Amino acid sequence: MTIEDPTTDMRLCTPHTDAAASVSEPFNHTDANALDRQLEAVLMVADEPQGLVHLATAVGRPLAEVAASVARLVADFDGVSSADGTKAVRRGFELREVAGGWRIYVRATHDELVTDFVLTQNPSRLSQAALETLAVIAYKQPISRGQVASIRAVSVDSVVRTLLGRGLVTEAFTDSETGAINYATTDLLLTQLGINSLDELPHLSPLLDGGTDGFEDLL
């Protein structure tokens, strides 16, 4: 009976399978850079937050690689020092996690400048009446049109239709006793405001000057 010397078996000395090659292959900075640029391009045109699974599907790469790439982009946009000690440029935008996904937003330090630019260049912005109605729904949801009208002291039917059409509010449920439709805000509003949840809305006390009817419980 003879026992073969395993060193003579070339299958054990030289990996021939893709799996073996992938195990021994070192981290490829070129591939990582290419992935970063692909995700950067996708996120630049995305009009809503993109989850990691969605991003991984879009670029055809493993979820772990995409998660690592997103972390690198966050650091890159934030101007975090690199491993060699050089200081990167802090961008005017940031990659922010919002509403369960990732999206590129204007950096907070430039909000005033960009808001002024958008308001003067975009005539299709919401009216003051729509903004006030949206604020009432955001803070008091779920709430019916009648209750909103009571707080604002004006009819809000057309304004609510506008907000529904913009996708900023939705019909949450219909009251079984009164038949009144109750409204709530959508994830799109969170996206537009750049927040993760309604808990991040500012407190009302500093914003209301005497006209507190209907908001006493939120002060």
* pLDDT computed for residue 174 by the predictor: 85
Strands (DSSP E) contained in the chain are 93-98, 101-106, 143-144, 169-174, 181-185
**Token output for 125:** 């912005």
CATH no., domain 10-110: 1.10.10.10
Query: Which pLDDT does position 117 carry in this prediction?
Result: 76
pLDDT of residue 28: 64
Compare 169 and 120 and report the one with higher pLDDT. 169
Q: Which of 195, 135, 147 is closest to 175 using CA atoms? A: 147
What pLDDT score was predicted for residue 95? 94
Does residue 144 carry a pLDDT above 70?
Answer: yes
Where do the domains of the chain lie? 10-110, 126-218
Residue 86: the pLDDT is 65
Q: Is the pLDDT of residue 118 over 70?
A: no
Tokens 């021994």 belong to residue: 24
pLDDT at 66 exceeding the cut of 50: yes
Residue 168, pLDDT > 60, answer yes
| 126-218 and 10-110 share a CATH fold | yes
This prediction has a pTM of 0.49
In CATH, what class is 126-218? mainly alpha
- What's the pLDDT score for residue 19? 40
Average pLDDT, rounded, for the chain: 79
Instruction: Please write the tens of the pLDDT for every residue from 15-51.
Output: 444 443 444 445 566 788 999 999 999 999 886 788 9
pLDDT in tens, 87-113: 678 899 999 998 788 989 889 899 888
Percent of the chain with pLDDT over 90: 37
Angle at 132 between CA 183 and CA 120, to 5 degrees: 125
Q: In what order do the strands lie in the sheet with 143-144?
A: 143-144, 181-185, 169-174
- Distance of alpha carbon 201 from alpha carbon 217, whole angstroms: 15
Q: Percent of the chain at pLDDT above 70?
A: 73
